[in-house]
Chains A and B, each alone.
Chain A
Amino acid sequence: MTAVDTVTGTAKTMVLNMGPQHPSTHGVLRILLELDGETVVKAVPDIGYLHTGIEKSCEDKTYSQVITLTDRMDYLNPLGNNLVYCLAVEKLLGLEVPKRAQYIRVMMVELQRISSHLVWLGTHAIDLGAMSVFLYCFREREEILNIFEMFAGQRMMTSYIRIGGVALDPPAAWRQAVQKVLNMMPGRVDEYETLLTQNPIWIGRTKDIGYISREDAIALSMTGPTLRAAGVAYDNRKAFPYSSYEEFDFNVPTRTESDCYARYLLRVAEMRESLKIVRQAMAKITDEGPIKAEAPGIIPPQREKMKTEMEALIYHFKIFTEGFSPPPGEAFVAVESPRGELGCFVASDGSPKPLRVHFRAPSFVNLQALPKLVEGRLIADVVACIGTIDIVLGEVDR
Chain B
Amino acid sequence: MEKGRAGLDQITALVGLQIVTESSIQKANVVVECLRSWSQQAVAEVIEFRGETTIVVPRNLLRAVAERCHADSKLQFNMLTDATCVDRYPIEPRFELNYQLVSIPRRDRVRLQVKLGGLDPVVDSLVPVWPGANWLEREIADLFGIRFNGHPDLRRILLPEDWEGYPLRRDFPVVGYRDVPSTGDLFKKSSLL
Contacts and interface: CB of A to CB of B under 8 A. Distances in A.
Given A56-B174, A60-B5, A351 B10 contact: yes
Given A328-B20, A330-B98, A356-B87, A349 B82 contact: no
B167 A345 contact: no
Contact of A59 (B6, B52, B156, B161): B6
Contacts of B135: 364-365, 367-368
B108 to A, nearest CB: 9
A74 interface: no
Interface in A305-345: 327-332, 334, 341, 343, 345
A332 to B, nearest CB: 6
B158 A48 contact: yes
Interface string A340-380: 01010101011101011010100011011000000000000
Contacts of B167: 53, 56
A314 B115 CA distance: 40
B84 A345 contact: yes
B81 A341 contact: yes
A1 B161 contact: yes
Interface stretch (A109-117, A145-153, A215-223): A215-223
A218 B78 contact: yes
B1 to A, nearest CB: 14
Contacts of B80: 221
Interface residues of B, number: 51
A239 interface: yes
B132 interface: yes
Contact of A355 (B52, B86, B111, B160): B86
A51 interface: yes
A332 B81 CA distance: 11
Contacts of A220: 131-132
Interface in A255-314: none
B192 interface: no
A68 B159 CA distance: 23
Interface in B80-120: 80-82, 84-88, 98, 100, 104, 107, 109, 111
A8 interface: no
Contacts of B19: 328-330
Instruction: Pick the most buried of A60, A218, A330, A345: most chain B CB atoms within 10 A of its CB.
Output: A330
Contacts of A59: 6-7, 170, 174
Contact of A365 (B7, B132, B161): B132
B54 interface: yes
Given A48-B158, A219-B131, A240-B109, A349 B50 contact: no
A328 B161 CA distance: 35
A331 to B, nearest CB: 6
B134 A51 contact: no
Given A331-B49, A331-B50, A350-B17, A360 B81 contact: yes
18 contacts: A1-B159, A6-B155, A55-B168, A59-B170, A221-B80, A221-B130, A234-B104, A328-B19, A329-B19, A330-B19, A345-B82, A349-B10, A349-B14, A355-B86, A360-B81, A360-B100, A368-B135, A397-B158
The 4 closest A-B pairs by CB, nearest first: A221-B132, A360-B82, A48-B158, A358-B84
Interface of A: 1-3, 6, 47-48, 51, 53, 55-57, 59-60, 91-92, 94, 218-223, 232, 234, 239-240, 327-332, 334, 341, 343, 345, 347, 349-351, 353, 355-356, 358, 360, 364-365, 367-368, 397-398
Given A328-B20, A355-B86, 10 more contacts: A6-B155, A48-B159, A239-B104, A240-B107, A328-B18, A334-B81, A343-B81, A349-B88, A350-B17, A353-B7
